[in-house]
DNA sequence: TACCCGGAAGTTCT
DNA sequence: CAGAACTTCCGGGT
């Protein structure tokens, strides 16, 4: 069989996310011949299909300035064709990670899961180096909102049976929907500084939805990680979370990122989202804004005078001290995950060294299993880039990325510490979550030479 | 009409 | 029971 035919065969048969490293290389060669372009050196894309699918247009351009665009489009086509689910965000430069492949289905190579072994690439450790078994804990505050994904699994009836809330049902309500006349498009571009904390890229949300357990009918109200009643978030947190996700810019967006000024584009829709979050079906913007006004005297949020629906965080949201938990949402007992206090204590005491983390961890009741990833630092831009992607991709159902415990020292070539916590959901075991985490790490970070890809170890 | 303001009381949590 | 963080309601302002 001719080379091109062979490649064409697997291109037809397999989704790009399922490609092995070799197949990625083969696809690149195939593109070279097919499109009569300069052959792309395989080391430019030394990764498997999953990692390839995480690359953005800009990543392609960076690697192959001449034909990156073409390659990106070619891959885009294949993703679209093979998945049946097209992530339109990918067209605008977002990586596509929307393929219905549950990370938990992957097996991680044994050597990856041992805390003591290093392999020159990625090592998964239990969170405490002194322990060989991961720490199971509770009461971790996931900075994960209960956000309805605008595009997935959501119907008008699911949101509110009576009221029509245009913004909620559509990610892009027209200004007339809100009556505010806001120009959503005028929002500044989203900034990695703000997005990285718990990024939920649209493609990731799609991906997350693949992992979402089947919920009772009523809970379809919130398709994305309808977690548990303990997952209450403060209003400013909620808004900040929405701000981090461009998916929700129709509700709220950054007006002036550097000053933490944000604008509410759809007050009604935002109130509905918030009410949804708190299980308060009668939430209105009037009430929400009253809650916002309480932030004035706490110096958390202030109104930008003269600008309607425009507010400002008075300090970087990540620095805002969280006090005691406030009113929780109304009961959602069917979604509850039980909490083990002694495990929470263990975890709390171990994490106490990091204040930010502690505050994150101390405020919820979700069973967790922290694991630690140590990724050797590298001056290689590709590796750094991938590491960044790993950081970004750590957010999906059952996961919380605790960016505050990332440590990286480029100059001294110290290990990159990445601690994250997987959250146990009622329907999903902790081990599954850890598998997901590992798979996620693998798909994001090119595997060291000689190690198997998740696909090859699983299939 | 829509948004904004802050007081007051009530609710639901830790 | 105290207190936080809202929620609900309200009268008034722009």
Q: Express each pLDDT in A365-387 by its tens digit.
A: 223 333 333 333 444 444 444 34
Q: What is the CATH number of the domain that holds A79?
A: 1.10.150.50
Count structural domains, chain A.
Answer: 3
Instruction: Indicate if the pLDDT at residue A169 is higher than 70.
Output: no
Instruction: Indicate if the pLDDT at residue A451 is higher than 70.
Output: no
Considering only CA atoms, name the residue closest to the C1' of nucleotide B5.
Answer: A293
In-domain check, residue A121? yes
* Residue A238 · residue A143 · CB < 8 Å: no
Higher per-residue confidence, A287 vs A425: A287
Q: Is the CB atom of residue A267 positioned under 7 angstroms from any atom of strand B?
A: yes
State the residue for tokens 């204040």.
A355
Cβ atoms within 10 A of the Cβ of A214, count? Answer: 8
User: Do A211 and A260 belong together in one domain?
Assistant: yes
Average pLDDT over residues A110-134: 26
Phi then psi for A319, rounded to 5 degrees?
-90, -10
Of the spans A22-36, A136-150, A367-381, which averages the highest pLDDT? A22-36
User: Do A305 and A373 belong together in one domain?
Assistant: no
Residue–nucleotide distance: A395 CA to C10 C1' (Å): 42
Q: Is the CB atom of residue A323 positioned under 7 angstroms from any atom of strand B?
A: no
Residue–nucleotide distance: A218 CA to B4 C1' (Å): 35
In-domain check, residue A150? no
Q: Which of A169, A274, A152 is nearest to A211 (CA)?
A: A152
User: Do A111 and A220 belong together in one domain?
Assistant: no
In-domain check, residue A451? yes
User: Do A326 and A452 belong together in one domain?
Assistant: no
Average pLDDT over residues A422-437: 31
pLDDT grade, residue A49 (50/70/90)?
confident
User: Do A213 and A290 belong together in one domain?
Assistant: yes
In-domain check, residue A312? yes
User: Do A115 and A86 belong together in one domain?
Assistant: no
- Looking at every residue in chain A, the average pLDDT score rounds to 52
Considering only CA atoms, name the residue closest to the C1' of nucleotide B10.
Answer: A327
Instruction: Give residue numbers, 1 to 30 of A, with CB < 7 Å from strand B.
Output: none
Nucleotide nearest to A275 (CA to C1'): C7
Q: Which pLDDT score, from 0 to 100, does residue A301 have?
A: 95
User: Do A309 and A188 belong together in one domain?
Assistant: yes
Q: Which of A361, A407, A165, A186 is nearest to A267 (CA)?
A: A165
**Distance between CA atoms of residues A406 and A283, nearest Å:** 37
Nucleotides of strand B under 7 angstroms from a protein beta carbon? 1-8, 10-14
In-domain check, residue A402? yes
* Residue A213 · residue A278 · CB < 8 Å: no
User: Do A172 and A312 belong together in one domain?
Assistant: yes
Cβ atoms within 10 A of the Cβ of A434, count? Answer: 22
Residue–nucleotide distance: A143 CA to B8 C1' (Å): 33
Residue–nucleotide distance: A364 CA to B2 C1' (Å): 37
Please give the residue range of the domain that contains residue A195: 156-330
Cα A177 → chain centroid: 28
In-domain check, residue A149? no
State the residue for tokens 């805002």.
A320
* Strand, helix or coil for residue A333: helix
Q: Is the CB atom of residue A322 positioned under 7 angstroms from any atom of strand B?
A: no
* Strand, helix or coil for residue A323: coil
Between A2-6, A18-22, A109-113, A233-237, the lowest mean confidence (pLDDT) is in A109-113
Q: Which pLDDT score, from 0 to 100, does residue A416 have?
A: 33
Average pLDDT over residues A285-313: 95
User: Do A285 and A225 belong together in one domain?
Assistant: yes
In-domain check, residue A98? no
User: Do A168 and A312 belong together in one domain?
Assistant: yes
* Residue A235 · residue A213 · CB < 8 Å: no
Higher per-residue confidence, A49 vs A272: A272
Higher per-residue confidence, A205 vs A55: A55
Higher per-residue confidence, A65 vs A294: A294
User: Do A386 and A447 belong together in one domain?
Assistant: yes
Instruction: Indicate if the pLDDT at residue A397 is higher than 60.
Output: no
**Distance between CA atoms of residues A113 and A345, nearest Å:** 25
User: Do A286 and A351 belong together in one domain?
Assistant: no
In-domain check, residue A97? no
Of the spans A39-43, A140-144, A240-244, which averages the highest pLDDT? A240-244
């Amino acid at each position: 069989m001719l080379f091109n035919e062979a490649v064409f065969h697997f291109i037809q048969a397999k989704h790009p996310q399922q490609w092995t490293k070799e197949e990625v290389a083969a696809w690149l060669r195939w593109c070279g011949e097919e499109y009569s372009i300069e052959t792309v050196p395989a080391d430019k894309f030394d990764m498997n299909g999953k990692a390839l699918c995480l690359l953005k247009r800009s990543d392609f351009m960076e690697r192959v300035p001449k034909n990156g665009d073409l390659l990106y489009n070619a891959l885009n086509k294949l993703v679209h064709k093979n998945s049946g689910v097209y992530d339109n965000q990918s067209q605008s430069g977002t990586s596509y990670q929307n393929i219905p492949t549950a990370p938990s289905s992957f097996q991680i190579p044994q050597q990856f899961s041992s805390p003591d072994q290093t392999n020159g690439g990625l090592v998964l450790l239990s969170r405490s180096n002194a322990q060989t078994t991961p720490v199971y804990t509770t009461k971790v505050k996931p900075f994960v909102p209960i956000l309805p994904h605008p595009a997935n699994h959501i119907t008008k009836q699911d949101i509110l049976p009576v009221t029509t809330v245009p913004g909620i049902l559509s990610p892009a309500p027209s200004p007339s929907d809100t009556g505010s006349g806001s120009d959503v498009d005028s929002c500044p571009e989203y900034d990695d500084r703000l997005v990285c904390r718990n990024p939920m890229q649209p493609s990731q949300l799609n991906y997350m939805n693949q992992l979402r357990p089947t919920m009772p009918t009523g809970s379809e109200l919130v398709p994305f990680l309808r977690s548990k009643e303990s997952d209450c978030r403060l209003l400013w947190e909620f808004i900040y979370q929405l701000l981090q996700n461009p998916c929700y810019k129709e509700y709220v967006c950054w007006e002036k990122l550097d000053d933490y000024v944000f604008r509410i584009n759809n007050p009604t829709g935002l109130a509905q989202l918030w009410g949804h979050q708190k299980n308060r079906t009668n939430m209105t913007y009037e009430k929400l804004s009253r809650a916002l006004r309480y932030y004035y005297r706490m110096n958390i949020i202030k109104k930008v005078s003269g600008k309607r629906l425009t507010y400002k965080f008075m300090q970087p949201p990540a620095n805002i001290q969280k006090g005691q938990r406030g009113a929780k949402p109304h009961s959602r007992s069917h979604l509850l995950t039980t909490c083990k206090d002694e495990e929470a204590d263990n975890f709390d005491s171990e994490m106490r060294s990091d204040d930010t983390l502690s505050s994150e961890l101390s405020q919820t009741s979700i069973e967790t299993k922290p694991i630690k990833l140590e990724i050797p630092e590298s001056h290689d831009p590709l590796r750094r880039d991938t590491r960044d992607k790993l950081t970004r991709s750590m957010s999906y159902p059952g996961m919380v990325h605790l960016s505050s415990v990332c440590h990286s020292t480029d100059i001294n070539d110290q290990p990159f510490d990445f601690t994250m916590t997987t959250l146990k959901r009622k329907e999903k075991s902790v081990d599954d979550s850890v598998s997901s985490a590992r798979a996620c790490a693998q798909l994001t970070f090119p595997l060291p030479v000689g190690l198997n890809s998740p696909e090859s170890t699983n299939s």
